[in-house]
Chains A and B, each alone.
Chain A
Amino acid sequence: MANPNGIGASVRRREDQRFLTGRGNYTDDFKRPNMTHAVHVRSPYAHARVLGIDPADALAMPGVVAVLTGADMEADKVGSLPCGWQIHSKDGSPMKEPPHYPLARDRVRYVGDAVAVVIAETREQARDAAEMVVVDYEELPAVGSSTRAIDGAATLVHDDAPGNVCYDWHLGDKAAVDAAFAQAAHVARIDLVNQRLVPNAMEPRAALGEYDASSGEYTLTTTSQNPHVIRLLMGAFVLGIPEHKLRVVAPDVGGGFGSKIFHYGEEAVVTWAARKIGRPVKWTADRSESFLTDAHGRDHVSHAEMAMDADGNFLALRVSTLANMGAYLSTFAPSIPTYLYATLLAGQYKTPAIYAEVKAVFTNTSPVDAYRGAGRPEACYLIERLVDVAAGVMGMDKTEIRRRNFVPADAMPYQTPVALQYDTGDFAKNLDIALPLVDYPGFQQRRAESKARGKLRGIGFATYIEACGIAPSNVAGALGARAGLYECAEVRFHPTGSVTVFTGSHSHGQGHETTFAQIVAERFGVPIENVEIVHGDTNKIPFGMGTYGSRSLAVGGSALVKAMDKVERKAKKIAAHMLEAAETDIEVKDGRFTVAGTDKSLGIGDIALQAYVPHNFPLDELEPGLDEQAFYDPKNFTYPNGCHVCELEIDPDTGVTTIVNFAAVDDFGNVINPLIVEGQVHGGLVQGIGQALYENCVYDEESGQLVTGSYMDYCMPRADDVPSFTVRYHEDQPCTHNPLGVKGCGEAGTIGAAAAVMNAVVDALSDYGITHMDMPATPEKVWRTIRDATPALAAE
């Protein structure tokens, strides 16, 4: 490593200083002169007709500036929140795409659907006045779950979506799968629910709208993972504001996990209202609003079957999934249970034939969209639970059945039967590294020791592969994405050799200000202190698709490399001119430009200065300046993969599960900053463990009321609920198609962990004949399951 702060170094994060001293700048921290505060009036019903809204009492309250409704937006020709991905059903028909207005017009479709906004001098005044807005609702029957949605008698959430079906889609070769099942010696089957989760970034969503009447410019400061996308969607489709008059800033953002990818109605409301009342308008969600209105994740009900030959070789996989879209289509919702789920159903296995059907339905619940992992945890959980069931059917060791069916490393690149082509991966190696970390051979003895203490010990494995950095754009477009999925970077050398990087990726915890600077420091040999990373502002950055799907380094980092390539080419020309040598004779190493075979050389700083103060550049060939921009469109997804192993102990008397060991082995390709990568894994693991053991978003099926609407009811994993982890990675399988050789690391933990934990829970309960339990394995559920499986106990 040439640079102590270059690639591969655990550089301590540069952003930490401000966060640790309370100097972060989150959206709710901003105050503007003459600023007002907005509070939304939200439906208390899951489904109702809005017969009328009377703001008179609210308008009479102290400090109230305005009460605005969907009718006001309609009068101003405000459009519907657009959906960024179109899926076509089996019969070729496009998905149902009902309008989704920022403020509902004549009907509300979930608890929390906004019908009006109250704007006042203070937040407290707005809140008081919101209570006084009289809304005349006529309650309608509600659809509280996906299984109810397809009950023939169910009410229609949208009149133009018969049967509440958004789309009925499939992928794979049904005939080949049916033929394989007809020949199968053994079949493993499972029915499972991947329960709904609430992402729960710790910073609640917020939005601050401003309008400058003299210039006609709008500014939206918002808690977003992708400000340019918000500008495009809101500007072009909702408010009709051209890009050059609309600035979107995503400052420090307190976590996203997917929930801040999407364009939300509140962003449009504050931007529109700022012009309407001629003052800045700020809205900040309280946590109760976050629970009600942030896009939720998961919510699948699935049946799966694996056909095997007599030796436990997988022949075919058949999957049928019912996916809940919620009341409206959120920005990327339709793509999650299709192209980010069904395409991953091969997992790490060479199953030759796969067929998946996915029916997506509307319900009277909050919209569902990408949440950390987004489709891939659902795929991993389904496959890995099914593989454990298959091991039981075959009487095989759980590691052995996996090993037998792995796609071998020498089969890469490997074309799966469900559209993806894996570029790299050595799945057996991941398992080989993992097994000693958990002393697998000693497990049976530990299990016996636990049993002697009256405890149940289980071990669970999950292998995963995921597809990160949704790509390439032409394929994404063919699959229904309404935008390409590239990334942009600009590298600007300043005259005295410092560097500003403008990236379309957005950091909301990932540490780009450090890792992206490491890449520049490594390439040009400049001190990391001289590199500034700018992100999150549409007025500063040429364009950006933002951060989601573990794409920042693989796609945004690659754009950065491409821009640095251009800088280097330009610098080489300048060096050749300054050193009076041929460009082809200039050799570049660590930011030094040397005439081959001589001691004549220049540093990048010398070149940068000359680039900005030239006197004698050959103007036909060489422009002044050292500032280059690049757009990078990836050739393929990247395929992080790994093996997670969980060992746990259950107290059968209380149902309490305690994780005693958790090892994660991951292949992320090359690693820029090990400290940050491991941190991403730790956080992901706890979100996966949270799903397995604690978290569950519950709607009442009859009324559509959110039962788990606060941290008192929705169990977030806390420090004393989870263990410390053993995390390993190897760099033997770098990505073959991006210049850094990197894969994604942001979602891996969440993708593998839930399956590993649940396989361990079921393993621990196997003596009771239990072969499956739906998540979360709360103490009550575990206790009841044991009791129901034990005739003597159940009879008590």
Chain B
Amino acid sequence: MSCTVSMTVNGKTVSREVEERTLLVAFLREHLGLTGTHVGCDTSQCGACVVHVDGRSVKSCTTLAIQADGATVTTIEGLAAADGTLHPMQAAFREHHGLQCGFCTPGMVMSAVDLVRENPNPTEADIREGLEGNICRCTGYHNIVKAVKAGADAMQGAQAAPVAAE
């Protein structure tokens, strides 16, 4: 059985006819060609597939595309500014060498952004607990934790800057 699914992905409205069983991650990767979102496991454990649905981090491998019908979805491709300027969290991952092979990175960054949204000043323990649903095999997490802390500070700074200018 097929169905029509419509949503806003990275600011663009999209609509596709898909099988009902189509997962959100397959919708993004196969139907929209947004291959930045990865599939690293089949038990909803690794977090490589994390995207934002209506601003909240979601494992897109465990979400049906139809569940996101009408939603606003942001993937890693949509995180940087339109002019290509990296999101502060992306920039922090680069600065602190928070990635190696890059495969877990999109999910890790998307989780980190949502983590900071919920907790703007996370401690190291908060960050480690908050990223418990994202597995990285390369970095040993050490530099990811540093990057998320720096990214959180930068996100705070980015929000504070206009206020300071007033």
Q: A286-B42, A287-B42 are in contact. Are A20 and B137 (CB under 8 A)?
A: no
* In contact, B105 and A682 (Cβ under 8 angstroms): no
Instruction: Tally B residues with Cβ within 8 Å of A.
Output: 56
A716 contact set on B, CB distance < 8 A: 45, 135, 137
Q: Mark B4-38, 1 if CB is under 8 A from A, else 0.
A: 00000000000000010100000001000111111
CA distance A93 to B40 in the complex (A): 43
A252 to B101, CA, bound (A): 8
Roughly how many angstroms separate A470 CA and B148 CA in the complex, as a whole number?
Answer: 38
Identify which of A202, A678, A724, A725 contacts B104 (C-beta below 8 A): A202
CA distance A687 to B140 in the complex (A): 8
B97 shortest CB reach to chain A, Å: 5
Closest Cβ–Cβ distance, residue B88 to chain A (whole Å): 12
Main secondary structure of the interface of B (DSSP, over half): loop
Cβ of A22 and Cβ of B34 under 8 Å apart? yes
Contact of B127 among A124, A509, A687, A719 (CB under 8 A): A719
Contact between chains at A718 and B143 (CB < 8 Å): no
The smallest C-beta distance from A420 to any residue of chain B, in angstroms, reads: 28
How far does the Cβ of B102 sit from chain A's closest Cβ, in whole Å?
A: 3
Contact A19 B128 (CB under 8 A): no
- A203 touching B38 by the CB < 8 A rule? yes
A23 contacts B by Cβ under 8 Å: yes
State which of B36, B124, B137 has its C-beta within 8 Å of the C-beta of A724. B124
Cβ of A752 within 8 Å of any chain B Cβ, yes or no, is no
Measured between C-beta atoms, what is the minimum distance from B85 to chain A in Å? 11
With known contacts A711-B135, A724-B124, A724-B145, A24–B95 Cβ distance under 8 A: no
Q: Does B158 contact A (CB under 8 A)?
A: no
Please provide the chain B residues from 78 to 135 with a CB less than 8 Å away from any CB of chain A in the complex.
Answer: 79-80, 86, 90, 93-95, 97, 99-106, 109, 124-125, 127-129, 131-132, 134-135
- Judging by beta carbons under 8 Å apart, are A675 and B97 in contact? yes
Q: Does B60 contact A (CB under 8 A)?
A: no
Indicate whether A304 reaches chain B with its CB closer than 8 angstroms.
Answer: no
B103-A202 in contact (CB<8A): yes
Q: Are B144 and A202 in contact (CB under 8 A)?
A: no
Alpha-carbon gap, A754 to B31, bound state (A): 44
Chain A residue at minimal CB-CB distance from B35: A29
Q: Does B155 contact A (CB under 8 A)?
A: no
- Closest residue of chain A to B124 (Cβ to Cβ) is A724
Beta-carbon contacts under 8 Å, A641-694 to B: 675-676, 678-680, 682-687
Give the A-B contact count at a CB cut-off of 8 A.
176
Asked whether B3 is an interface residue with its Cβ less than 8 Å from the other chain, the reply is: no
A150 to B35: give the CA distance in the assembly, Å. Answer: 48
Whether the Cβ atoms of A203 and B37 lie closer than 8 Å is no
| Bound-complex Cα distance A12 to B90 (A) | 13
* Shortest Cβ gap from A26 to chain B (Å): 7
Question: What CA separation (Å) do A203 and B102 show in the bound complex?
Answer: 9
Whether the Cβ atoms of A253 and B42 lie closer than 8 Å is: no
Return chain A residues, CB-CB under 8 Å to B46: 202, 287, 711
Query: Which residue of chain A lies nearest to B105 when distances are taken between CB atoms in the complex?
Result: A19
B86 x A508 contact (CB < 8 A)? no
Which single member of A17, A21, A28, A720 contacts B76 (CB below 8 Å)? A21
Count contacts on A: residues with CB < 8 A to the other chain: 56
**Given A22-B36, A255-B103, A724-B145, CB of A711 within 8 Å of CB of B45:** yes
In the bound complex, do residue A724 and residue B142 qualify as a contact, i.e. CB atoms below 8 Å apart? yes
Neighbour of A22 across the interface among B99, B101, B106, B139, CB < 8 A: B106
A631 to B45, CA, bound (A): 44
Residue among A287, A716, A719, A720 with max Cβ neighbours from chain B (10 Å): A719
Give the residues in chain A near B109, CB-CB below 8 Å. Answer: 20
Most A Cβ at <10 Å: residue of B21, B36, B144: B36
Contacts A255-B138, A711-B46, A724-B124 given; indicate if A19 touches B102 (C-beta within 8 A): yes
Inter-chain contacts of A28 with B (CB < 8 A): 35, 39
Contact A202 B137 (CB under 8 A): yes
Q: Do A749 and B140 have beta carbons less than 8 Å apart? A: yes
A20 in contact with B38 (CB, 8 Å)? no
B interface residue numbers (CB < 8 A to A): 19, 21, 29, 33-43, 45-46, 48, 75-77, 79-80, 86, 90, 93-95, 97, 99-106, 109, 124-125, 127-129, 131-132, 134-145
Known: A22-B34, A683-B137, A719-B131. 16 other contacts (CB 8 A): A16-B99, A19-B105, A22-B35, A24-B36, A29-B35, A200-B137, A202-B138, A509-B138, A679-B142, A679-B143, A682-B142, A682-B143, A712-B43, A716-B45, A718-B135, A725-B140
9 contacts between A and B (CB under 8 A): A22-B35, A23-B36, A26-B38, A202-B38, A202-B135, A203-B40, A255-B138, A682-B141, A684-B140
Which residues of A are in contact with B by a Cβ distance under 8 Å? 12-13, 15-24, 26, 28-29, 31, 124, 200-204, 252-255, 257, 286-288, 508-511, 675-676, 678-680, 682-687, 710-712, 716, 718-720, 722, 724-725, 749
